[in-house]
Amino acid sequence: MEVNMYPDDMTQAFIDTLRRPTRIGSVDWRIAEPADAVPVAPPPLRFEATHKGVRITLYRERATALPRGRVGGDDEESYVLAIQDVHGLEVWRAERVPHEVRSLYRLVRERLTNIDDTLTRLIDPETLASYVSAREARVQDLLDGDGLLGWLRRQRRAMRDRLFAPRHA
């Protein structure tokens, strides 16, 4: 069956095809050895899997040049999803979908390292709850609007919560 799709759509469909079975654990991702023999700094995790007979790699790499007008931030690293041939050479890379590749990388990292569970066990529950509520407030600000209006709404909500919060005896 031939399907006419734009390359970006095909890439997105491929990432979604990997994401679903990764969530339920049916793609056997494993942590791979770093590609560099002598790393300058500790290398980021590199993952490999064979899915439907095809070797797939997922990793982060340092950008060689920053985009114009940007200094620092996530742009210094890019996330790579690639298909390799039998000799380990990359024959295809996911392009123009950086957020989706980063999301898949984080999902695979979480499944293999259980870092979120470890951090949840280590962090004091009250501290974790305060950060969760602060994040919810930031998300609500984004929904309410941004800038001064969002800030004013957050201040109003915080004042209402303080004034009308149940008193502990």
Residue-wise pLDDT for 27-64, tens only, equals 999 998 765 555 556 667 899 999 999 999 999 887 66
Residue 164 confidence class, pLDDT cut points 50, 70, 90? confident
Integer Cα distance of 25 and 32 in angstroms? 17
pTM given for the model: 0.62
Q: Which is nearest to 61 in space by CA: 87, 90, 85, 86?
A: 90
pLDDT digits (tens, 9 = 90+) for 113-147: 888 888 888 988 888 888 888 878 777 766 666 66
Largest CA distance in the chain: 70
pLDDT of residue 53: 92
Residue 132's pLDDT is: 82
How far, in Å, CA of 4 to CA of 37, rounded? 42
Lowest mean pLDDT among 11-15, 61-65, 89-93: 61-65
Would you state the structure tokens that stand for residue 44, as one six-digit string? 């980021």
Crossing angle of helices 125-144 and 147-164, rounded to 10°: 130
Q: Does residue 10 register a pLDDT over 90? A: no
State the average pLDDT over residues 90-110: 90
- Tokens 């690293």 locate to 77
Task: Report the candidate in 96, 136, 111, 100 with the shortest Cα–Cα distance to residue 27.
Answer: 111
Is residue 80 pLDDT above 80, yes or no? yes
More confident residue, 46 or 73: 46
pLDDT band at 66 (very low <50, low <70, confident <90, very high): low
Q: What is d(CA 91, CA 4) in angstroms, rounded to the nearest whole number?
A: 21
3-state secondary structure of 57: strand
Mean pLDDT of the chain: 79
DSSP assignment letter at 87 = T
Predicted confidence at residue 103, as pLDDT, reads 92
